[in-house]
Structure 1
Amino acid sequence: MTQLSTSGVMPEIGTLRLCFYGAGSMAEAIVRGLLDRGLTIPDKIGMMNRQNAERLDELSGRYGIITAADEASKQSMLQKADLIFLAMKPKDAAEAIKLLRSSIRADQIIVSLVAGMSIDTIESLLQKKTAVIRTMPNTSSTIGLGATGISFSSSVTEGQRLLADQMFQSIGLTAVVEEPMLDVVTGISGSGPAYIYYVMEAMIEAGRKLGLSEETARELTVQTVLGSAHMVRATNETPADLRRKVTSPNGTTQAAIETLDAHHFTQAIIAAVSRAAERAGEMGTEIERVAKS
C-alpha cells in the first residue's frame, strides 16, 4: 500500500495498487492500455467481480493480473488498493458501492466508470467525502482510440488529476470538463461511435442497392471513414474546410450535400446529440433516486 500524495505532485502509477471492481470490456481496455504503455506491471493490478470466476480466470491468463473470487480475497484486495475503479454495471453499482463503505480508506482514490452516477451520489453511498474521479470513456477505448471525459470531486488534488489524465490517455484522448458537461460528452463521444456506424450502415446499403457487392461497399466505406478522420487529424483543418475542398461547384459532392441538407442532416445530428445528452441526465436522475431510496 502506497501513501498517496495530498499535494500537487503526481504519484507514480507504477508504485500504486489498482483494484478494478468489475471485469467488463472497459475495465479490460484500461488494464491493457496501462500495461501496453508500461505504466505499471500486472502484479500491481487486481480485479474482481460479483460471481463470474471464468471471466476473471480469462483476464488473469491473458494479462497476468491478480484476481479475487472469494469474499476474503475481495476485501483484502480492496483494502490494499490505492485506486479503486468502479467498473460494475450501472444497475449493480449502488448496492456494490454501499458494500464498500467499511473497506474504503480516506486516502484512497475512487475512479468511476459507471455511466450516469454522479460524484454526489457516489459520496452519498460511501457516506464520506473522498477523492472521486468520474469518467465517461467510449467503446473505442478497447482499441486504444477512445475519448474519455473526466470530472473531479473537490477532494481531488492537482497531482491526482494529472494521474487520472495519464491513466486515461493510455486508452486514447482525454477531456477534463465540469461534471454537468459529462452529459454532453456522453452525447458526443460516449454515444458518438454509434452515429458513425449508423452512417456507415447507410453508405454500405446505398452501395449495395446501386450494384456494388456487400464486401466492396463495406471496404470502400470503412476506408473512406478512416481516411476522413485521419485527414482532420493530420491537416489540423476544420471538417468544414475539408468538406468545402471536396465540394466542387455543380459537382457530385455538391449534389449529395444538397440532398443531405434537404433532409435536414445537420439538424438531425444536433437533435440526436442533444437527446442523448438529455437521456444521460434522465438516467443519472433515476440512478440517484434508486441509490438514495
Structure 2
Amino acid sequence: MDETTADGTRAPGRTPDHSRLPRTAMIGVGSMGGAILAGLRAPEVDIERPIAVTTRSEASAEAFAGAGDVTALSSERDPEANRRAVRGAALVVLGVKPWMVRDVVREIAGDLEPGAVVVSVAAGVTSAAIEAELPDGVAVVRAMPNTPSTIGLGATGIAGGASASEEQVALVQRMFATVGEALIVREDQINAVAAVSGSGPAYIFLYAEEMTAAAERAGFDEDQARTLVKQTIVGAAQLWAHSDETPETLRRKVTSPKGTTEQAVLELQRGGWAELFDRALAANVRRSEEIERGE
C-alpha cells in the first residue's frame, strides 16, 4: 500500500525504480500540468534539471523566477517559447486543451529531438492524430491523470501509440508515478479511464453535495453537515486505502442484518445505482468519442 503523510496525502516524488528521468519540457502548466510539474520537482525525484516549461502569459512565467530547477518561457513575450522549450528534451508533455493539441504539435514538430516522447494528457485526441503531425522517430504516449494528482494521490492511465516502445511507455509511467498511481492500459481503454478515474473525483464531489444537502434537510446546519460528510468520505477512503479488503466486504462490515444501515443501502440499491453508473460512464465515453470526431 502507498505511504501517506499525516494529513492523508501521499508523499510525492516516488518512482518505481531509481532510473533518472531525462530532460523534460512541459507545454502548458495549468491545473493538471502544474500538478505533474509539482511531482517532478519533488526533491526525491531524480530528473535532469532544469525542467523547461512554457506559459501563455508572462505573469505565469514570472511565478518561476529564481527557481533553479525550472526554466519558464512565455509565448506572450517569446512567440517561439514552445519551440525553444522542446529542444534537447527527451520527454515533452502537452498540457494544453484538446482543441489546441494539433496546432501545438505542428508548431514544435520541427524542433523535437529524434527519439523524443510526446505525452498528451488531452481527452479525445488520439495518438494517431498526433503522430500524423510528427516526424518519424518521435513517439506518442497518451496519459489520463486526475485532479488528486495535485496532492500526490492521482490515478493515471498510460497508453502508448503505435510509435511508442514498451520502454518509452514505461518511462512515461515512471513520470506519472511521481503524482500517484500510474497504470498501463491499451489506447482503446483510455476513454474508459477518463470516465472512471479522470472524471471520477467529480462523481465523489457530487455525492458529497447531495449527502450534505440531505444532512441539512435532516436538521444539521451547514457547517455540521459539511463536517460529517467530509470526514466520512475522507475516513472511508483512508480505511479502504489501508485495507486489503474489497469495498463490498468493508460495506458489509458496516451493514448489520436488519439494522439501520441495511435499510439505507437497500433504498439506494432500489434506486438502480448499478444501471445509473453504467449509463454515466457510457455517456462520458460517448462524449470522448465525439471529441475524437471533432464534434
TM-score by length of 2: 0.87
Q: Counterpart amino acid of 2:246? A: T
Matches within 5 A, 1:146-161: 146-161=154-169
1:281–1:10 distance in 2 versus 1, CA, 3 Å: farther
Q: Which whole-Å CA distance do the structure 2 matches of 1:37 and 1:213 have between them?
A: 43
Gaps of at least 5 residues in structure 2 are 1-16
Is the CA contact 2:123–2:191 (under 8 Å) kept in the aligned structure 1? no
Is the CA contact 1:131–1:153 (under 8 Å) kept in the aligned structure 2? yes
Q: 2:279 aligns with which of 271, 282, 287?
A: 271
Provide the secondary structure at the position in 2 that maps to 1:141: helix
Following superposition, the deviation at residue 86 of structure 1 comes to 0.8
Q: Counterpart amino acid of 1:71? A: P
Is the CA contact 1:22–1:47 (under 8 Å) kept in the aligned structure 2? yes
Is the CA contact 1:146–1:172 (under 8 Å) kept in the aligned structure 2? yes
Following superposition, the deviation at residue 63 of structure 1 comes to 7.5
Matched, 1:112 2:120: yes
1:41–1:104 distance in 2 versus 1, CA, 3 Å: closer
Matches within 5 A, 1:55-204: 55-60=60-65, 64-69=69-74, 70-128=78-136, 130-204=138-212
Following superposition, the deviation at residue 41 of structure 1 comes to 6.0
- What is the aligned partner in structure 2 of residue 25 from structure 1? 31
Which shifted more, 159-168 or 197-206? 159-168
Is the CA contact 2:54–2:61 (under 8 Å) kept in the aligned structure 1? yes
Q: Which whole-Å CA distance do the structure 1 matches of 2:246 and 2:202 have between them?
A: 22
- What is the aligned partner in structure 1 of residue 7 from structure 2? none
Q: Which whole-Å CA distance do the structure 1 matches of 2:85 and 2:242 have between them?
A: 44
Following superposition, the deviation at residue 62 of structure 1 comes to 6.7
- What is the aligned partner in structure 2 of residue 256 from structure 1? 264
Q: Which whole-Å CA distance do the structure 1 matches of 2:221 and 2:68 have between them?
A: 40
Q: Which whole-Å CA distance do the structure 2 matches of 1:246 and 1:221 have between them?
A: 16
TM-score by length of 1: 0.87
Length, aligned pairs only: 276
Provide the secondary structure at the position in 1 that maps to 2:53: strand
Provide the secondary structure at the position in 2 that maps to 1:132: strand
1:87–1:73 distance in 2 versus 1, CA, 3 Å: closer
Is the CA contact 2:158–2:169 (under 8 Å) kept in the aligned structure 1? no
Following superposition, the deviation at residue 172 of structure 1 comes to 0.6
> CA RMSD of the aligned region, Å?
2.1
Gaps of at least 5 residues in structure 1 are 1-8, 288-293
Provide the secondary structure at the position in 1 that maps to 2:111: coil
Following superposition, the deviation at residue 185 of structure 1 comes to 0.5
Following superposition, the deviation at residue 45 of structure 1 comes to 0.2
Q: Counterpart amino acid of 2:42? A: D
Is the CA contact 1:45–1:66 (under 8 Å) kept in the aligned structure 2? yes
Is the CA contact 1:23–1:56 (under 8 Å) kept in the aligned structure 2? no
Q: Counterpart amino acid of 1:22? A: G
1:133–1:43 distance in 2 versus 1, CA, 3 Å: same
Q: Counterpart amino acid of 2:119? A: V
Provide the secondary structure at the position in 2 that maps to 1:126: coil
- What is the aligned partner in structure 2 of residue 280 from structure 1? 288
Following superposition, the deviation at residue 247 of structure 1 comes to 0.9
Q: Counterpart amino acid of 2:57? A: N
Q: Which whole-Å CA distance do the structure 2 matches of 1:134 and 1:191 have between them?
A: 16
Provide the secondary structure at the position in 1 that maps to 2:52: strand
Q: Which whole-Å CA distance do the structure 2 matches of 1:90 and 1:58 have between them?
A: 25
Q: Counterpart amino acid of 2:165? A: T
Which shifted more, 227-236 or 34-43? 34-43
Provide the secondary structure at the position in 2 that maps to 1:71: coil
- What is the aligned partner in structure 1 of residue 8 from structure 2? none
Is the CA contact 2:18–2:46 (under 8 Å) kept in the aligned structure 1? no
Which shifted more, 114-123 or 161-170? 161-170
- What is the aligned partner in structure 1 of residue 14 from structure 2? none
Is the CA contact 2:143–2:156 (under 8 Å) kept in the aligned structure 1? yes
Is the CA contact 1:10–1:160 (under 8 Å) kept in the aligned structure 2? no
Provide the secondary structure at the position in 2 that maps to 1:173: strand
Q: Which whole-Å CA distance do the structure 2 matches of 1:191 and 1:79 have between them?
A: 33
Provide the secondary structure at the position in 1 that maps to 2:242: helix
Following superposition, the deviation at residue 156 of structure 1 comes to 2.6
Matches within 5 A, 1:22-61: 22-40=28-46, 43-49=49-55, 51-60=56-65
